[in-house]
Amino acid sequence: MKLRPDVLVNLVFGRVGVRDPSVVVGPAIGEDSAIIDLGGFYLVVHSDPITGAVASVGWLSVHVAGNDVAVRGARPRWFLPVILLPEGSSLDLVDSITSQIDTALRELEAMVIGGHSEYTPGLDRPIISMTALGLVEKDKLVLTSGARVGDYVVMTKSAAVEGTSILAIDFEEELSGRGVPRWVLEKAKRYSKMISVVREALELAEGRYATSMHDPTEGGLIGGLTEVAYASKKTIEVWENRIPIAEETRIICGALKVDPLKLISSGVLIATIPEGRVEEALGRLKGVGVEVTVIGRVKEYNGSLLELHRLDGSAERFEEVHVEDELMRIVSERYRLM
């Protein structure tokens, strides 16, 4: 679970050593990656841990970190994994993790250039912290903080892509016991193939369509939207009936009593696009086979970061950027019962 924003502000962000003028964007809430000015290009750098998944940890580590570079408009090219293994782990586990990493990298045409691996005391499952790097032309850089009043808010695919896959894989036995059909679980497992947002992010950056892009991870779609609003100092208004939620996601989340809008959602791209360019941007994404939906608008900040109009007609307001992720919640509950 992420540290609360007040903790980050008070105990983390002010303790970064000597300020470097070449750092255009450093540690900040809602911003996906650091930006370093190299002269003709910006270097984009991001690190992300995978702590909730087990079976697909290697695969996810590449795509989750790569996504946060791509939403800046940069193609992720170089990766450095830190692989932490429980003591006594078999070589089969190492083989599985590195094979997954290699497969994901080949899809992105990227490379591992270093990293670290070790057996770590006290772990009950493998953990990977992945760093990804890429370059972007200066005029194609996109920030989380760029959303403007009047922009349309769009999302690709459907809510909780990553979370649906993780639950189907790591909670398979429990879900089967609760009556979730086999076909639902098998289809949901394949959602891991949709984790990358590199294609759609680079399409929007290449056409200079997006004022802001963001990859919603912990806290799900709601968490991602509050982060865009916080970074941009705006209020975002969305309607639940416009948010696509796949049947498999609804069934699995219903069985575990999970809110799909708060479930980790790598694989979804959130973007804000000016009104005059939204139709062209949607057409470009659909032209490369990416499903995309308009779910809301950006407004002047009114005290709430997010106004979510629920299906029952109620309006749920989020004033804080911190949203507890449903996967972290149920994983924590599982280990407390063990």
Rounded Cα distance between 333 and 201, Å, is: 35
Q: How far are the Cα atoms of 102, 169, 267, 276 from residue 162, in angstroms, in the given order?
A: 19, 11, 6, 32
* Whether residue 126 is found in the same domain as residue 266: no
Question: Of 114, 140, 166, which residue constitutes the final position of a domain?
Answer: 140
- The pLDDT tens digits of the residues spanning 131-159 come to 999 999 999 999 999 999 999 999 999 99
- The pLDDT tens digits of the residues spanning 301-327 come to 999 999 999 999 999 999 999 898 999
* Whether residue 29 is found in the same domain as residue 77: yes
* Whether residue 97 is found in the same domain as residue 57: yes
Q: Answer yes or no: is 163 within a domain.
A: yes
pTM value is: 0.91
pLDDT average, residue stretch 177-185:
97
How many domains does the chain contain in total?
Answer: 2
pLDDT average, residue stretch 168-190:
95
* Whether residue 102 is found in the same domain as residue 61: yes
Q: Answer yes or no: is 5 within a domain.
A: no
Q: Answer yes or no: is 10 within a domain.
A: no
Q: Answer yes or no: is 71 within a domain.
A: yes
- The pLDDT tens digits of the residues spanning 223-239 come to 999 999 999 999 999 99
Rounded Cα distance between 183 and 172, Å, is: 12
**Bigger pLDDT: 178 or 170?**
178
For tokens 């580590």, name the residue.
Answer: 61
- Confidence (pLDDT) at 333: 74
Question: Of 140, 173, 191, which residue constitutes the final position of a domain?
Answer: 140
* Whether residue 150 is found in the same domain as residue 118: no
Six token digits for residue 163: 């979370």
Q: What is the CATH number for 26?
A: 3.30.1330.10
* Whether residue 93 is found in the same domain as residue 221: no
* Whether residue 176 is found in the same domain as residue 324: yes
- The pLDDT tens digits of the residues spanning 71-128 come to 999 999 999 999 999 999 999 999 999 999 999 999 999 999 999 999 999 999 999 9
Strands (E), 176-332: 212-214, 234-239, 270-273, 292-300, 306-309, 315-318
* Whether residue 107 is found in the same domain as residue 63: yes
Comparing C-alpha atoms, which of 158, 152, 102, 113 is closest to residue 279? 152
- Confidence (pLDDT) at 6: 87
Q: Answer yes or no: is 15 within a domain.
A: no
Q: What is the CATH number for 303?
A: 3.90.650.10
Domain span at 168: 144-337
Q: How far are the Cα atoms of 160, 193, 195, 292 from residue 110, in angstroms, in the given order?
A: 26, 17, 16, 26
Contact 187, 169 (CB under 8 A): no
* Whether residue 274 is found in the same domain as residue 169: yes
Q: How far are the Cα atoms of 32, 63, 101 from residue 109, in angstroms, in the given order?
A: 21, 12, 12
- The pLDDT tens digits of the residues spanning 26-74 come to 998 888 799 999 999 999 999 999 887 777 899 989 999 999 999 999 9
Q: Answer yes or no: is 155 within a domain.
A: yes
* Whether residue 189 is found in the same domain as residue 313: yes
Q: Answer yes or no: is 328 within a domain.
A: yes
Question: Of 140, 156, 177, which residue constitutes the final position of a domain?
Answer: 140
Pairing mode, strands 41-50 and 34-37: antiparallel
Q: Is 284 helix (H, G, I), strand (E, B) or coil?
A: helix
Q: Is 178 helix (H, G, I), strand (E, B) or coil?
A: coil
Rounded Cα distance between 113 and 66, Å, is: 14
Q: Answer yes or no: is 14 within a domain.
A: no
- Confidence (pLDDT) at 335: 58
Mean confidence (pLDDT) of the chain: 94
* Whether residue 265 is found in the same domain as residue 121: no
Contact 212, 155 (CB under 8 A): no
Q: pLDDT-based confidence at 170, cuts 50/70/90? A: confident
* Whether residue 135 is found in the same domain as residue 168: no
